[in-house]
Structure 1
């Protein structure tokens, strides 16, 4: 709930960020049947809570989802090189599906994620949405991961 209030507070304080946004969605998470959103889809849970707390009618979209992740993929944070991150991003792109492209056609979509590491995950989701007809895709993150200097 606290993260939802932080997201709402930021968006309320900066309405210019939403000037042309048609939908705010969570970063898609792969959920097996009967998994609870709260424990397994933290970005979806934050957006779910934001919808309940929102008193300005921001354009949150949760159900039906605009983009879904159809299978588990490796986590970006577990990669050690730029090449690994590219491979994981490609695998993620292949695992994403837009169930109803007419819902994203011509839309400007803001994707919420909790942590921005290198941009590969957001880029994969943006590419999938744009390939399905979205006009623009923006990212909104709660935090940026500390740079890790790796060999």
Structure 2
């Protein structure tokens, strides 16, 4: 991968890799791709869930008309398993901030590798966390890192500290909850969000909504519907990890 130089250490040995500081988004993304569990083929074109041959997706959100679903599709960098699951947890619940830089590179590397999916995107925004979240606002940290790693300024990411979507009030968390509780939490989450710029900027826009993990899509659905109601023409999703889900 790097002629005449040491080979990358491989994900998740990023902290001891020779390219931890100087590596590019493409290098880190290609390196991680050797060990991450890829999205299955065939998979649902809406939610990226792996499908049995000839079987439809069992995720109820995928059968909804797009206006009710909110997002047109959600892509994933990899599946939520093994080392990726562990390192997302390290950032999200233990505040291991070094992983934000790596995840920012993985997102930008995916964007560089999928120009067709990025075509026409006007804004790349994170699905925000509460401004008082402890130990870290992990989505904001990842998005700040992604802006830094996009050295050619190819993608419409916001500079650090100037996030397009913000969440000033805390709402119930959906982890370990029942499906009905998750839906209620998703509704409350979406209602608590604010677009920091002029909402007229959203009119007719295509927005790429970024999150760390996708399970059923309830939260992304409600945030996407909120953006669509404000005037967005299309909302697409991009997540670090897709949870295998059986419906």
SS in 1 for 2:175: helix
Does the alignment pair 1:89 with 2:217?
A: no
Partner of 2:147: 51
Does the alignment pair 1:131 with 2:131?
A: no
Is this contact kept in 2: 1:97–1:128, CA < 8 A? Answer: no
Counterparts of 2:158 and 2:225 in 1: how far apart (Å)? 19
Deviation, structure 1 residue 148: 7.5
Counterparts of 2:236 and 2:111 in 1: how far apart (Å)? 13
Tell me the number of residue pairs that the alignment of Structure 1 and Structure 2 aligns. 144
Which one of 209, 212, 220 corresponds to residue 122 of structure 1?
A: 220
Deviation, structure 1 residue 83: 1.6
**Residue deviations 1:88-113, cap 9 Å, x none?**
12211221223431222221000110
Partner of 1:20: 120
SS in 1 for 2:245: coil
Structure exhibiting the larger radius of gyration computed from Cα positions: 2
Is this contact kept in 1: 2:211–2:238, CA < 8 A? Answer: yes
SS in 2 for 1:68: strand
Structure 2 spans left out of the alignment, 5+ residues? 1-100
SS in 1 for 2:146: helix
Is this contact kept in 2: 1:77–1:117, CA < 8 A? Answer: no
SS in 2 for 1:10: helix
Deviation, structure 1 residue 115: 0.6
Structure 1 spans left out of the alignment, 5+ residues? none
RMSD: 2.0
Could you tell me the TM-score, scaled by structure 2's length? 0.54
Counterparts of 2:118 and 2:204 in 1: how far apart (Å)? 16
Counterparts of 1:98 and 1:52 in 2: how far apart (Å)? 22
Is this contact kept in 2: 1:93–1:124, CA < 8 A? Answer: yes
Counterparts of 1:147 and 1:23 in 2: how far apart (Å)? 29
Deviation, structure 1 residue 124: 1.5
